[in-house]
Structure 1
Amino acid sequence: MREVGRLALTDSTLVSDIAWARERFGEHAAALVETTVLRRKAAAKLSHAEDWLFTDEALQQATAEPVARHRARRLVGQRVHDATCSIGTELAALADSAALLVGSDIDPVRLAMAHHNVPDVSLCRADALRPITRGAVVLLDPARRRGGRRRFDPRDHTPALDALLEVYRDHAVVVKCAPGIDFTAVRQLGFAGEIEVTSLAGSVREACLWSMNLAQAGVSRRATILDTGEQITDAEPDDCAVAPAGRWIVDPDGAVVRAGLVRHYAARHGLWQLDRAIAYLSGDRLPDGVRGFEVLEQIDYSERRLRQALSARDVGALEILVRGVDVDPDRLRSRLRLRGSTTASAIITRLGSGPASRATVFICRPSR
């Protein structure tokens, strides 16, 4: 394994590297090369990837370590059964915080990998739809991919979410879901607990369902931003005004937007909405640690007007953000033919409703 691990395995060397591995290791070469490639991919998710075993699909579904550790912090001191443990990423995060920890999976290959990856955790083969523990929080991560493509209908998960919720209706459960899952469909399945949307490194990673006996009282939606440690819930005030742009425009973190907590976030930070139906916020000061856009100019949107305004400011590099307007940022950027020496950001959005609505562009200076 160490010898294969020293190979470059890049696009330009892959053919020769595989040929060398076949000559050296024969029929084992393919598995050694695949494991090495997957470990390198896994380094972006896991700090201990150099020793783990993976399948490609299991790695795609595996929880990023900071997200798993956040979930584990909410389960400190609990007895936990990971009933879809796969290769063991959640078990690794829970190992130091759970009062008692067991894992199970129906896939014998993934279970064998979990035995290697988390050797100190008790594991067994079991179907998640047939409960095998009592008095434990059941952690569930139904598969949401088929052929590498995500599935957002909860009934298309494996096992299906409606079946899982029915089987575990009397248990404390935590269910990891894709961030694009239909919240209304989840509620229609009878789920009445908390839906937590979590982001990491500026990207929304997952929606997690926490049953009523694990949820915070009065909370049905939560946004967790791991980059800053900030959390916001629908139990907080959401009274914010709608007003013209102030000094700054803020594009809230994706977890806040996906959880439907834009107004709650605005109220917490003294911001207001530019439009009731648009997620952009504005204020005269930026929340601590948040990237914002200082407004330099506001114009009615057209490519000609935007090109003229950017030319007058000698803009050569442009970041484009869009909400509520059918504009492709990359195509627009190429059509603008910018030749200047400065950088700027353009926020294109729709303000107002009905006949009075208009596409507007704010030319801005980013805070960082």
Structure 2
Amino acid sequence: MLDMSTRTAYNEDHDMFRDTVRKVFAEHLAPHMDEHEEKGIVPREVWKACGEAGLLCPTVSEENGGLGLDFGYNAVVAEELSYLGSSAGFTLQNDITANYFERLGSPEQKAKYLPGMVTGDVITAIAMTEPGAGSDLQGIRTTAKEDGNHLVINGSKTYITNGQNADVVIVVAKTDPTMGAKGTSLILVDADTPGFERGRNLDKIGQHSADTSELFFNDVRVPKTNMLGAEGMGFIHLMEELPQERLSIAIGCQASAQRAFDEAVKFTKERAAFGKTVFEFQNTKFTLADLKADLQVGWAHLDWALTRHLQGKLTTGEASAAKLWHTEMQWKVMDAALQLHGGAGYMNEYAVARLWRDARVTRIFGGTSEIMKEVISREI
């Protein structure tokens, strides 16, 4: 269990909400995680249970069916989910897509999607990455050509979180391919739209319970009213959401790193070797001491960044630095924790194995560590 005694970003209401999150996850998520991993998806009934308990999209305003809470409640969900070791796609809906709908959506779009996103009846995805365009979103090739009062979408996307479960997808497409980034728009595509197809649930190294998919758009015809935000402003809209997205990733990384550390402490104190516990060896104690220092710094920095974000002050550079540091620190902790388990660490029956596998992608998605350094350097 995460130790909250030294945290500074939360208040008593956040703490009460955390108790609810833990109870819901303990009942509806934790007992079924192996099944979710095996099937490669978290079933809709778990989404519904989380929605009924208020765990989905807590920042959505009351007029749109939500609770109108601050991002700290999202952070609580992200921390507990990551500490548990689940890769369910709740944080994508809470921390990323909900903001797009509430900030950019028309009254009709908000009314159609947001209440269901809160209850878990509507699951969302955002389709940015393509086979030939990853971190460089200006290079996307999916097009949305105007045809009277409609847009006709053609192209493909890959590595899309919630791709199998999604009821609606925010598609990043070129409405004017001649304008580069300025010709990019965001368009809503319902999953039952003719021409929209889901590809396979991708076979990943880790995060097996997260359904991650290829999506195909073959003459997908949607009304122009499905455009989310202003035409040609898609790239700017994406950039505006980056601080929260990258902070969200940093939050998850910190919590999962803490879980790996806790698992390593528990294992080394129980495992005997050469007449004493593994923990008693100086190498073990020094390794754990080093990791504990990193985690202490990480929690303090995370509370600073979270507080900055709650105040509306967190910059893209600061959020990128948070993602860079916490993801790199996470991998350091994960690898050392697995090593301290010895051969057991390579066995899937131990939690550290899953944590280690799931951690590898965090230095890639949401912008690679190399891209983070590019972004940070712009504020120097």
Q: Same fold (TM over 0.5)?
A: no
Q: TM-score, normalised by structure 1?
A: 0.23
More relative contact order in 1 or in 2 (CA 8 Å, sep 6+)?
2
Give the greater-gyration-radius structure (CA). Answer: 1
* TM-score normalised by the chain length of structure 2: 0.22
Higher strand share: 1
